[in-house]
């Protein structure tokens, strides 16, 4: 995907910013035509394979939904199967069930599995990589904290480009929901006294309306999730600079926690002009696809303020609501993998419409998931060229919002090679040497 297709304006360093992604070539490019002329995805199984293909966490997440569509017979052994057979089965490897119609598929998969999985892999790889995980933060910060229309805010002091790491910051304090003032004191006992001062300087919002101690309101107002996975009570970090970033329903930046470096990275999602406010979303990506009224209600209930972002500020948000509804419908449909991929051309056209809406609304946080949904359909129907293109786009979209520049080439190659849901389809083989 080109930068233009992504809708991103990047720094003019093509060799850095457009790495060659060594995607696998896809094998077995046949549209299956049944006896009655129907076209559909084939069942796939390793006819002569003595052992099930190895799997990964990803397979556990995705494969069940995909197996239902991938258990017809191949006349030709997919090269990937040979490769997989050569590897010893892992003890906990996901067992591909026998070629049977009794496969049960959990109807719902996790909402952002690609993202979660990819972050985990990326963080794991970062320990091995000599290359930095992402572009190192600039020596002179390209931002400044200054008054905004909603208290203080972060502003760009230079032009920033998509995938730029705006800020890399360690927390003043790590906490969890329900932390008491005593917990905070215990954590800060050995911290430099400036941390206390910085902490007490942060803004205290109204929170969700529950009566609380001021310190708890402060933690609620300024906490940023510091875990790559959703848990019941994920850790939150309080940051001197990142906690000053205001919310927007069309964020131009976003943060993610690098669990290897134990640091928060703030990444530009698109070009941010000098003087423009840097914003992130306090809502999860799928919630950004709700209507203006719903988003505002959620912000009010969860964070206790009335959203004054640019997307909410427009008097008539009808068009925006319609565009976001298109995206929301596709994300909802994509949770049910079987009907989604069975829909074939309808699903592809829905995915394309959602991608267009995402671009119109500049909702980059959902780009990777939409591209992935498009990929699944093409892969299931053995439309290899389209599948490869969609996979490339999905990875590029994911890399763009995570700021993976330096590590992207390596990571993408690794991801493509390992991601078991792709191999499960029997459509890909290892990259040509
Ligand atoms: C994490 S702080 C952000 C920095 C804060 N503006 C400050 O002065 O330190 C969150 C608080 O900022 C304000 N805020 C953030 N985004 C906002 C938005 N889109 N509309 C209105 N207020 C917002 C709210 O008061 C919220 O409780």
Encode pLDDT of 3-52 as tens digits.
Answer: 444 444 555 454 444 434 343 333 433 444 444 444 444 443 333 333 33
What is the complex's ipTM, to 2 decimals? 0.99
What's the pLDDT band for 228 if we cut at 50, 70, 90?
low
Reported pTM: 0.69
Residues 395, 397, 402: CA angle, nearest 5 degrees: 95
pLDDT of 380: 81
Q: Outline which parts of the chain fall under CATH 2.170.270.10.
A: 143-286
Q: Is the CB of 174 within 6 Å of ligand 1?
A: no
**139 Cα to the center of ligand 1, angstroms:** 27
Q: Is the CB of 221 within 6 Å of ligand 1?
A: yes
The predicted-structure confidence for 94-114, as pLDDT tens digits, reads as follows 443 333 333 333 343 333 344
Higher per-residue confidence, 309 vs 213: 309
Residue 209 has pLDDT above 70, yes or no: no
Probe residue for ligand 1, chosen from 151, 225, 306 as the CB with the greatest number of ligand atoms within 8 Å: 151
The predicted-structure confidence for 322-342, as pLDDT tens digits, reads as follows 999 999 999 999 989 889 988
Environment class of residue 316 by beta-carbon count within 10 Å: exposed (0-12), middle (13-18) or buried (19+)? exposed
**118 Cα to the center of ligand 1, angstroms:** 30
Fold of 143-286: Beta-clip-like (2.170.270)
Probe residue for ligand 1, chosen from 169, 305, 308, 310 as the CB with the greatest number of ligand atoms within 8 Å: 305
Residue 54 has pLDDT above 60, yes or no: no
Q: Is the CB of 10 within 6 Å of ligand 1?
A: no
Q: Is the CB of 252 within 6 Å of ligand 1?
A: no
Residue 118 has pLDDT above 90, yes or no: no
**153 Cα to the center of ligand 1, angstroms:** 8
The predicted-structure confidence for 343-399, as pLDDT tens digits, reads as follows 999 999 999 999 999 999 999 999 989 998 998 888 888 787 787 788 778 878 887
């Amino acid at each position: 995907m080109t930068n233009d297709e992504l809708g991103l304006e990047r720094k003019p360093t093509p060799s850095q910013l457009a790495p060659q992604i060594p995607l696998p070539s896809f094998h077995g490019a046949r549209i299956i035509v049944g006896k009655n002329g129907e076209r559909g995805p084939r069942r796939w199984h390793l006819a002569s394979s003595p052992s099930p293909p190895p799997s990964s966490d990803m397979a556990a997440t995705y494969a069940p939904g995909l197996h239902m569509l991938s258990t017809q017979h191949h006349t030709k052994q997919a090269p990937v199967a040979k490769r997989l057979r050569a590897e010893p089965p892992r003890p906990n490897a996901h067992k591909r069930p026998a070629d049977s119609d009794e496969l049960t598929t959990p109807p719902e998969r996790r909402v952002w599995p690609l993202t979660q999985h990819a972050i985990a892999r990326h963080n794991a790889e970062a320990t091995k990589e000599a290359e930095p995980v992402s572009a190192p933060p600039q020596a002179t910060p390209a931002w400044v904290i200054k008054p905004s229309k909603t208290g203080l805010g972060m502003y760009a002091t230079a032009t920033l480009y998509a995938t730029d790491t705006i800020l890399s910051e360690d927390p003043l304090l790590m906490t969890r929901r329900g932390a008491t003032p005593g917990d905070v004191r215990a954590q800060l006992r050995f911290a430099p006294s400036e941390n206390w001062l910085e902490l007490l300087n942060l803004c205290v919002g109204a929170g969700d309306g529950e009566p609380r101690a001021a310190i708890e309101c402060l933690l609620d107002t300024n906490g940023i999730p510091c875990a790559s996975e959703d848990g019941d009570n994920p850790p939150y970090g309080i940051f001197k600079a990142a906690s000053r970033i205001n919310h927007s329903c069309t964020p131009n930046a976003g943060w993610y926690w690098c669990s290897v470096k134990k640091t928060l990275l703030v990444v530009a999602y698109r070009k941010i002009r000098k003087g423009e406010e840097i914003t992130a979303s306090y809502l999860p990506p799928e919630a950004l696809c709700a209507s203006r009224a719903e988003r505002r209600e959620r912000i009010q209930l969860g964070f206790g303020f009335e959203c004054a972002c640019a997307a909410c500020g427009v008097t008539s948000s009808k068009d925006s609501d319609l565009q976001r509804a298109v995206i929301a419908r596709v994300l909802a449909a994509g949770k049910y993998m079987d009907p989604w991929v069975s829909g074939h051309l309808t699903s592809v056209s829905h995915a394309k419409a959602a991608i267009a809406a995402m671009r119109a609304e500049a909702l980059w946080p959902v780009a990777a998931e939409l591209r992935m949904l498009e990929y699944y359909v093409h892969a299931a129907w053995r439309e290899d060229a389209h599948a490869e293109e969609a996979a490339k786009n999905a990875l590029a979209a994911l890399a763009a919002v995570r700021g993976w520049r330096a590590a992207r080439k390596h990571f993408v190659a690794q991801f493509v090679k390992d991601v078991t849901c792709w191999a499960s389809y029997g459509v890909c083989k290892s990259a040509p040497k």
